[in-house]
Structure 1
Amino acid sequence: MKYLTKLILFLFVSSVFSQTNPFDKLNFDKVVAYEFQGNGELLIERCLKEKKDKINKTLELSKKQVNNLEQVLTSKESYGNSTFSCFDPHFAVVYYKNNKIIGSINICLECNYLISSEKIPATELKWIKISDDYSYPAKGFSKITRKEIYNFCKNIGFDKYLKPLNSYLDD
């Protein structure tokens, strides 16, 4: 029985972490990037429904752009830093099927994290140990990932809310 329990646990953990890109399961026909004023934890879904005046720019992404962004956000190396509590996102991508939202990713570089409709396994791989009794997930973007997201936004012309990357997370 003991071995069966360990086997079941191993298979469960393996299946969760073997799926590196949870967005692969989405059946979408377009992905749109949004630059918006997400102050006060305002997510893009609510902006699209109630606060369209908060949206500054939109751009339908190419398949290559979507793949590049997903690769950055789902890599095991993409996380490992702390996060802050502000969560005022200014960049988001929304997955659509027949003009209906089926998935989203809201990103805040100031607090160093994202809120995603799909669970990203890589966000749970690293931990920050405070003591033998306490640790917490290091789900904040790595330095390299912060730069990649920043450059992605700049490359698609989303720079209204971009602030220079000059926090201790970027040194």
Structure 2
Amino acid sequence: MKLYHAIILLIGTTLNVSAGWLPRPVHEVRAYVYDYTQEAGNVSLLKGGKLHKGVINPAGEKLSEAQVERLKNALRSRQKRVMGAFCYMPHHGFVFFDKKGKAMGHIELCFQCGNVASSPKGLPETEWGWTQIRKLLGELRIPILKENKDYTKLYEKKSGK
């Protein structure tokens, strides 16, 4: 099966991820927004199974079955990538959890430059449907802000700093 078919809905809220992208079926997907500047030397949303220190919504926003399906479609959309600067300052991501609630992998996005990353590696990182993902984040009430400093301000406001 091709990599852009990496996420396939199975039954209910359980996903079956093929091509070896994740080690077990995905039970739940949550969306996050974060200020990557809160951890020196680390921009990754999920590292060693732990969320980035700068996560603004620590519980994440759980995606419904329909939203997971739309995310799946966006990840394999084969939409031509619109390039911006090569900054890679991600502020948004989705974490995939197993049935026991353990984070197995994630994707993260930089809306400023159009670069993305997945961990573990295995998803195509140049063809995601940005318009669909932007709409999905809007439905989840996750802000997409203009500048890095705006994410820092939001983090400080949410954390009481």
Q: Which category of TM-score, normalised to the shorter sequence, fits these structures? A: 0.5 to 0.7
Structure 1 residues not aligned, in runs of 5+: 1-14, 124-138, 165-171
Q: Secondary structure of the residue that 2:47 maps to in structure 1?
A: helix
Structure with the bigger percentage of helix: 1
Query: What residue number does 2:142 align with?
Result: 158
Q: Secondary structure of the residue that 1:64 maps to in structure 2?
A: helix
- Compute the displacement of 1:32 (Å): 1.2
Pick one of 31, 34, 38 that aligns with 2:36: 38
- Aligned pairs for 1:83-94 (under 5 A) are 83-94=84-95
CA distance in 2, matches of 1:103, 1:44: 10
Using the size of structure 1 for normalisation, the TM-score is: 0.62
- Compute the displacement of 1:105 (Å): 0.4
Is the contact between residue 41 and residue 88 of structure 1 (CA under 8 Å) also seen in structure 2? no
Structure 2 residues not aligned, in runs of 5+: 8-16, 148-161
CA distance in 2, matches of 1:104, 1:73: 12
- Compute the displacement of 1:41 (Å): 5.5
Question: Which structure has the bigger radius of gyration?
Answer: 1
Using the size of structure 2 for normalisation, the TM-score is: 0.65
**Aligned-CA RMSD value:** 2.7
- Compute the displacement of 1:75 (Å): 1.5
Deviations along 1:28-58, whole A, 9 cap, x unmatched?
Answer: 1111111111246511113973743x11121
- Compute the displacement of 1:119 (Å): 2.1
Q: Percent identity?
A: 23
- Aligned pairs for 1:19-168 (under 5 A) are 19-23=3-7, 24-25=17-18, 26=22, 27-39=25-37, 42-46=43-47, 49=50, 51-52=52-53, 54-57=54-57, 58-76=60-78, 78-97=79-98, 98-117=100-119, 118-121=121-124, 123=125, 139=126, 145-159=129-143, 161-163=144-146
Aligned residues: 126
Is the contact between residue 45 and residue 51 of structure 2 (CA under 8 Å) also seen in structure 1? no
- What amino acid is the match of 2:145? L
